Structure 1
Amino acid sequence: MIRPIRVSRPFTRSTYLSRRDLTTLGLRREDPKRIWERRTALTPDAIRGLIQAQRSTGAGELKVEVESCGRRCFSDQLYSEAGAKIVPLLSNEVDVILGIKEPPLAEVHRLTKDGKKRKWMVFSHIHKGQEYNTPLLAAFLPPSQGQTLIDHELLTAPATSKERKVTRARVAAFGWYAGAVGAGEALSMTGIALLKRGIASPLLHLPRPYASGTLAEFKASLRKCGESVRSSPELETKGQGPIVIGVTGAGNVSTGSKDMLDELNVEWVKAEDLAGLKDAPSNRIYGCIIPSSSYITRKDGSSYDRAEYYRTPEKYKSFFAEKIAPHITTLINGVGWSSTFPRTISNSDLSSLLNAAGDKQKLLAVQDITCDKEGGLEFVNQFTTIDQPCFKGPGGILISSIDILPTELAADASAHFSSKILPYVTRALFPDVKGDKAGEEDTIERAKIVDEGKLLEQHGWLMPRVQAWGGHSSNSSDVAPIREDKLALTSQKKKKILLLGSGLVAGPAVEVFAARSDVHLAIASNNISEARSLIKDRSNVEAISLDVGDEVALSEAVAAADVVVSLLPAQMHPQVAKHCINHSRHLVTASYVSPEMKSLDQAAKEKDVLLLGECGLDPGIDSMAAMRILDRVQREGKKVTSFVSWCGGLPEPSASDVPLRYKFSWSPKAVLTAAQNDAHYKLNNEIVRVPGDQLLSNHFPEVKLWPELQLEGLANRDSMPYAEKYGLGETDGLKDLFRGTLRYQGFSRLLESFRRLGLLRNEALKEVPENWEGFLLASTARELGYDKSLKDNDLPSALSDLLGSHKTEEVLEALKWFSLLPSTSSPPSPLPLPNLRAPVPVDLFAHLLSHKLSYSKGERDTCLLHHSFTLSPTSSLSGQKQPEQKVTASLLCYGDENASAMSVTVGKTLAFAALRVADGLVRGRGVKGPYEREVWEGTLDKLEEVGVVVKEKWD
């Protein structure tokens, strides 16, 4: 039985309403499509107390309507007995509409037709710009009148100062229930995991939390199970010792788990005692709260220091797989993770654990309550559901990662939520009455997204997408609600996408486009067999043969599309863009906006055309991730004083044991060209310019970002314009403004040697070489100023002249590996020289590298991104100097057997951005980069859905 909610005095006789009228509260039923959503925002007891409190004031009548619902955790009868009226649908009399999740669109339209002022209190899933709920937001705006939307998620307590950080806590949190239910799921899963090993334990009969109905009943089940364990004979555990449950974390989640394990009557042990449990009685269950200090250690072997760990986590490593995992049966994970911190158990850690344990493996089950996909527990790579609570992971480990755990104890979770939300429901019903608690009115105001039909200023950035959905211009202030029948009509028309190119990054882009049934994709390529291989029986994809040098054919292809997406080399984009302008078609590319493209800006605007560039990885995701952080920086009134960014695509370390420590997942020539670009940046208050022919020799020999990766870096082009692009302010106010490219250590030194040998030159050789050795000798001779070609025996002295004697031997070995010199250890390269009329060294060398440094079967690449911001407040009310704040954003993405990380991060980013253009969600025109919210936010959201997540850390 749920205890009655105690209602604080919302009114007194001295502060009651001056008007004696009727106020109506409407309690919605949740969307029937949400099968497991059985919670309610107010319990029957809360409604009874609310009605009685209102009657005691004599200030008027409160009426409560409750929509009938057979799935809700409290019956209609209980609400009726509490004084509510049970209705099939809420009437037009309601003043405040209360629910848990967002209401269906049709319900909002039904209740907004009459123009009556109403307040809606729900988790609306709108304020972050969630695209799927844009029509819902539009429904609260004109021509609907008087609607106010209050979001539960934005109901926050007054700010408190703690450790120099200003935070606003949400008024309702469910961490304890997540931990409690998670412990129950973990125990049930452990029973199944043991059975799979041939061991029948009392845990097998423990009901899952949702089957118990209430928290009290679940606790009783746990106590009964614990008694059964202790009264049973010792289990035959096949030499694995007793059941041991490990719990990580130190917050509400772990507290909830611990409380449930206490009901089971586990015997608690310390982490350092786990190894000694092997011979303990097996008719006992042991529990261990595992602090970070028991498995996080400095890499140099010294002890854990909590303050230092959070300040410089790169100095630390997790030994969980070595010290803890071999001694526990089940892990309940309640500790969060950020990309700058070591993983609790990485994939390689787990692999080592499984290999060492063999058939003696003790760890059988993992309950990841944090649901941090591929996070602290890297092997947790999918979410599970209440219907299908677990999946089989490496080594047969059962893994559960349910992200709606509290709903399994719906009545108790509802009672908890009801007690927290009640004062604010009261305030919404009776805003003119002074409440008992200071700050309630401010809490309501902070939680408003729409106030009487007006989108509030802090959420104003949502208006362009509402206008896009409604078909209005960006200057329109009257936004019509989006009708469902209008959306259905619009979706019948296919959006025609033309994809130019079928190369290395095309596959993931095609996958994104083809997944949309309202899209027809044409892949245009001069390699028709390659283009056809990307179709894969998809009915909405076709391949067409196209030579982009044929202006007539290119023009016809562009004219037939709505949006053109170009994977062609960057120098070809202006040619394509001119056809797009001519036919009023939008263009999206992954390349930097060149001066040639920028010159088309006015012409594009005149034809209402968008030429959107820089929508790949770098440029692309890097800028989008930066803009997301800077958007928050601006809203919080802070200023950037330092911005340092690194990005790169590399082979995973195990595949990097080759000269240059590099392999190609995209254009080799682009890599070689980028290594010779001029650079311009600011570091430590000093502006630096590096000519392109000195870039490699002026590399950064050590870049410490990920402790397991030995990285170096190169400055990436001109960083200075990004002060304006990103809105960072004047460069004089920045200590650092730097963008760099990541490589493994040794790359720059060797590539600089190749540059000095003339292999990266862009001017054609006088004669066509007969073989690869002749190519090297001819290039080197030109660098030395020789009129004639070198002989083989001249090369060592020539290398010494060009490079210095200390580098000669290393470079000779690399040249032999690349088959540019004869080698006794390996045969000459069977790769013929390409048939070029004008042999350009960089083209020949890129062709060679594309074959010699290609990925072998089973090898993976990785894409890395790391932003570092330093922030300072723009002003201080106290007049005292405020501390600086550090913010980082990190991405570490690995390829797999289906697609490289580079093709995913470039191809899918490009496709998601292009679809936003095709859907009319990007209103800008002219030549643009991804610097507007209407581009970066939705694109990043879609990338996160496919596992490409840029993780932020705010100190």
Structure 2
Amino acid sequence: MKIVKQISILGAGRSAGFLISYLGNCANREGWKLRVCDKDFMRLKASFEISSHTELSIVDLSVPSELSRIVSDSFLVVSVLPPILHVEVAKICLVYGVHLFTASYTSAQMLSLDAEATAKGLLFMNELGLDPGIDHLSASRLFDKAQSEGLDVVEFESHCGGLVSEDSCGNNPWKYKFTWNPSNVVLAGQGDSCIWKENGNIKRLDAQRVFAESRKISVPGLGIFDVYANRNSLTYQELYGLNNAKTLLRGTLRRENYCKAWSVLIDWGFANSKDCVPPQVNTRKEWFQWLTGAKNFSQWTIQLLRDNPHLDNIIGHLHYLELDSSSAGESISGLNSARILENILLDKWQLQANDIDEVVMVHKLVLRDLNGKPKQWYSVLRVLGEGGDRTAMAKTVGFPLAMGVETFLMGELTDRGVMVPFDKSWYRPILDKLALQKIVFEEHFS
């Protein structure tokens, strides 16, 4: 007798639409059961047509007993909850013998569950979204191609950015709007140091300097972008088989001059998340004056350019944010500067319903053949959204996660334990399925 497999998706937020839609079609075709759990589905239904066979279950997943109830009768759980909750979900999956898929980075706490998951015959697959996710799948394919051609990887860079199409930017000089977690954007440049390898040397950079010391990359067919380094590129050195590579750098893409402008905000304390503003600071204008010591934006500009004339091409970026403008009824009491800045950006960088977002990913490889002759490869992905919540970000996070679940449930894979998708058994079927959704890398070999 055929066992009906119950899939439970935890969360129906902005990135979950394509995941839910794709797995709904799979469930209809294969006779699986699909249940989606969240407090509300209004936003999901506004942008996606949901199969009548997909159960939308209103559940408060913050209640432990409710979370356990949902997991207990599932064959496989897909968690699109905040990453901090994945380990809690994983532990419940261990209790009830349930497989788990997420799109998030593999934490040390998740890795600690590997032996128990393996012993129980469970797969806990992580890092199966965009970045991480599609980056691993596509990079692994390139490394296998290089090996098959007898080429050594001397340098490897992998960069990705969730952006907005330039046609949707209007007069916004940053050429950026929020397509992902706003807090993560504002807090970039804080926390642990960034580590990578370059020309055979280990490089470390204080997080607060990451924007000031960003670099440029020319992406074939797309132009010049800023790149700032991610936290720890060396995490993947062994997994990628790049112990002998001279350079290994993973970074985040932004439009040109974004990093230069953001570095000014960091240097002047606008993104400081540690300290609340003092009690006597009650309005945004007072906050601006407190941070800069200037009466208004014009006076600050004069000071900036006097000391740093090279900033002349990003003054427009700063002016656009109206950092010294106060509005009626506003209150910043008890907030830190990062939160005040985030509130400003939620207005200035809001993705409108008709805006088209854009995901860009680029891998750059420098290789050497058996005769020592160098070669250079670029592999470039560009995906556009469709408006509303049918974003490029939702596509590139949701589709690979759904396709990984589909591939696993079709019985094509036997991996168990805490895993990430590096192997050909994962990248080949998922990249093939992504191609059917027009998510395809363009290769440039020289």
Change (3 A) 1:807 1:653: same
Q: Does residue 29 of structure 2 align to residue 519 of structure 1?
A: no
1:813-892 map, 5 Å: 814=317, 817-822=320-325, 839-873=335-369, 881=371, 883-892=373-382
Check whether the contact 1:753–1:803 (CA below 8 A) recurs between aligned residues.
Answer: no
Secondary structure of the corresponding residue to residue 131 of structure 2: coil
In structure 2, what is the equivalent of residue 507 of structure 1? 17
CA distance in 2 between counterparts of 1:562 and 1:687 reads: 44
CA distance in 1 between counterparts of 2:258 and 2:82 reads: 24
Secondary structure of the corresponding residue to residue 56 of structure 2: strand
- Structure 1 residue 809: deviation in Å? 8.1
Secondary structure of the corresponding residue to residue 88 of structure 2: helix
CA distance in 1 between counterparts of 2:17 and 2:443 reads: 29
Change (3 A) 1:901 1:535: closer
Give CA deviations for 1:822-859 in whole Å, capped at 9, x if unaligned.
Answer: 2xxxxx6689669xx96343344334323321233443
Check whether the contact 1:504–1:665 (CA below 8 A) recurs between aligned residues.
Answer: no
Check whether the contact 1:498–1:521 (CA below 8 A) recurs between aligned residues.
Answer: yes
CA distance in 2 between counterparts of 1:922 and 1:840 reads: 48
Matched AA of 1:892: R
Change (3 A) 1:772 1:910: farther
Which of 675, 678, 693 is the matching residue for 2:193? 678
Which of 190, 193, 205 is the matching residue for 1:690? 205
Secondary structure of the corresponding residue to residue 430 of structure 2: helix
- Structure 1 residue 920: deviation in Å? 3.5
CA distance in 2 between counterparts of 1:596 and 1:690 reads: 26
Matched AA of 1:890: V
CA distance in 1 between counterparts of 2:374 and 2:349 reads: 44
1:37-436 map, 5 Å: none
Check whether the contact 1:519–1:540 (CA below 8 A) recurs between aligned residues.
Answer: no
Secondary structure of the corresponding residue to residue 220 of structure 2: coil
Check whether the contact 2:21–2:51 (CA below 8 A) recurs between aligned residues.
Answer: no
Check whether the contact 1:863–1:902 (CA below 8 A) recurs between aligned residues.
Answer: yes
Check whether the contact 1:510–1:534 (CA below 8 A) recurs between aligned residues.
Answer: no
Which of 100, 105, 113 is the matching residue for 1:600? 113
- Structure 1 residue 694: deviation in Å? 0.8
Change (3 A) 1:802 1:604: farther
Gaps of 5+ in 2: none
Q: Does residue 446 of structure 2 align to residue 935 of structure 1?
A: no
Give CA deviations for 1:300-342 in whole Å, capped at 9, x if unaligned.
Answer: xxxxxxxxxxxxxxxxxxxxxxxxxxxxxxxxxxxxxxxxxxx
CA distance in 1 between counterparts of 2:339 and 2:351 reads: 20
Q: Does residue 241 of structure 2 align to residue 727 of structure 1?
A: yes
Which of 220, 224, 229 is the matching residue for 1:710? 224
Matched AA of 1:751: W
Which of 74, 91, 102 is the matching residue for 1:561? 74
Q: Does residue 165 of structure 2 align to residue 652 of structure 1?
A: yes
Secondary structure of the corresponding residue to residue 721 of structure 1: helix
1:904-923 map, 5 Å: 904-923=395-414
CA distance in 2 between counterparts of 1:795 and 1:763 reads: 28
Matched AA of 1:650: L
Check whether the contact 1:653–1:709 (CA below 8 A) recurs between aligned residues.
Answer: no
- Structure 1 residue 663: deviation in Å? 1.2
CA distance in 1 between counterparts of 2:438 and 2:54 reads: 24
- Structure 1 residue 903: deviation in Å? 1.3
In structure 1, what is the equivalent of residue 443 of structure 2? 952
Q: Does residue 251 of structure 2 align to residue 740 of structure 1?
A: yes
Matched AA of 1:942: K
Give CA deviations for 1:202-230 in whole Å, capped at 9, x if unaligned.
Answer: xxxxxxxxxxxxxxxxxxxxxxxxxxxxx
- Structure 1 residue 816: deviation in Å? 5.1
Give CA deviations for 1:595-633 in whole Å, capped at 9, x if unaligned.
Answer: 232222223223322221111111111110011122233
CA distance in 2 between counterparts of 1:924 and 1:831 reads: 57
CA distance in 1 between counterparts of 2:182 and 2:37 reads: 22
CA distance in 2 between counterparts of 1:914 and 1:799 reads: 56
1:591-670 map, 5 Å: 591-656=104-169, 657-670=171-184
Matched AA of 1:673: L
Percent identical among aligned pairs is 27
Check whether the contact 1:777–1:795 (CA below 8 A) recurs between aligned residues.
Answer: no
TM-score with structure 2 length normalisation? Answer: 0.86
Change (3 A) 1:808 1:919: same
CA distance in 2 between counterparts of 1:799 and 1:563 reads: 59
Check whether the contact 2:277–2:336 (CA below 8 A) recurs between aligned residues.
Answer: no
Secondary structure of the corresponding residue to residue 223 of structure 2: coil
CA distance in 1 between counterparts of 2:73 and 2:287 reads: 45
- Whose relative contact order is higher, 1 or 2, with alpha carbons under 8 Å and at least 6 apart? 2
Q: Which has the larger radius of gyration?
A: 1
Give CA deviations for 1:351-405 in whole Å, capped at 9, x if unaligned.
Answer: xxxxxxxxxxxxxxxxxxxxxxxxxxxxxxxxxxxxxxxxxxxxxxxxxxxxxxx
Change (3 A) 1:650 1:596: same
Check whether the contact 2:277–2:287 (CA below 8 A) recurs between aligned residues.
Answer: no
- Structure 1 residue 545: deviation in Å? 2.9
- Structure 1 residue 642: deviation in Å? 1.9
Secondary structure of the corresponding residue to residue 711 of structure 1: strand
Check whether the contact 1:526–1:547 (CA below 8 A) recurs between aligned residues.
Answer: yes
Matched AA of 2:257: G
Give CA deviations for 1:839-885 in whole Å, capped at 9, x if unaligned.
Answer: 34334433432332123344322211221223334x6xxxxx35334
CA distance in 2 between counterparts of 1:513 and 1:832 reads: 44
Change (3 A) 1:808 1:897: closer
Check whether the contact 1:616–1:905 (CA below 8 A) recurs between aligned residues.
Answer: yes
Change (3 A) 1:694 1:872: same
Change (3 A) 1:652 1:761: same
CA distance in 1 between counterparts of 2:52 and 2:345 reads: 37
Check whether the contact 2:211–2:263 (CA below 8 A) recurs between aligned residues.
Answer: yes
- Structure 1 residue 562: deviation in Å? 2.0
Check whether the contact 2:296–2:324 (CA below 8 A) recurs between aligned residues.
Answer: no
- Structure 1 residue 741: deviation in Å? 1.6
- Structure 1 residue 692: deviation in Å? 0.5
Change (3 A) 1:801 1:635: closer
CA distance in 2 between counterparts of 1:498 and 1:537 reads: 15
CA distance in 2 between counterparts of 1:566 and 1:755 reads: 33
- Structure 1 residue 699: deviation in Å? 0.4
CA distance in 1 between counterparts of 2:98 and 2:302 reads: 53
- Structure 1 residue 800: deviation in Å? 4.1
Give CA deviations for 1:775-817 in whole Å, capped at 9, x if unaligned.
Answer: 5456x27xxxxxxxx7845994699489946488887765553
Q: Does residue 386 of structure 2 align to residue 896 of structure 1?
A: yes
Change (3 A) 1:870 1:535: closer
In structure 2, what is the equivalent of residue 34 of structure 1? none
Check whether the contact 2:273–2:337 (CA below 8 A) recurs between aligned residues.
Answer: yes
CA distance in 1 between counterparts of 2:337 and 2:11 reads: 25
Check whether the contact 1:641–1:734 (CA below 8 A) recurs between aligned residues.
Answer: yes
Change (3 A) 1:921 1:674: farther
Give CA deviations for 1:149-189 in whole Å, capped at 9, x if unaligned.
Answer: xxxxxxxxxxxxxxxxxxxxxxxxxxxxxxxxxxxxxxxxx
CA distance in 1 between counterparts of 2:319 and 2:338 reads: 18
Check whether the contact 1:565–1:587 (CA below 8 A) recurs between aligned residues.
Answer: yes
Q: Does residue 417 of structure 2 align to residue 926 of structure 1?
A: yes
Q: Does residue 92 of structure 2 align to residue 579 of structure 1?
A: yes
Check whether the contact 1:532–1:542 (CA below 8 A) recurs between aligned residues.
Answer: no
CA distance in 2 between counterparts of 1:693 and 1:494 reads: 51
Change (3 A) 1:798 1:571: farther
Matched AA of 1:938: P
Change (3 A) 1:777 1:645: same
CA distance in 2 between counterparts of 1:637 and 1:589 reads: 35
Check whether the contact 2:17–2:48 (CA below 8 A) recurs between aligned residues.
Answer: no
Give CA deviations for 1:418-476 in whole Å, capped at 9, x if unaligned.
Answer: xxxxxxxxxxxxxxxxxxxxxxxxxxxxxxxxxxxxxxxxxxxxxxxxxxxxxxxxxxx
Matched AA of 1:714: Y
Which of 755, 758, 771 is the matching residue for 2:266? 755
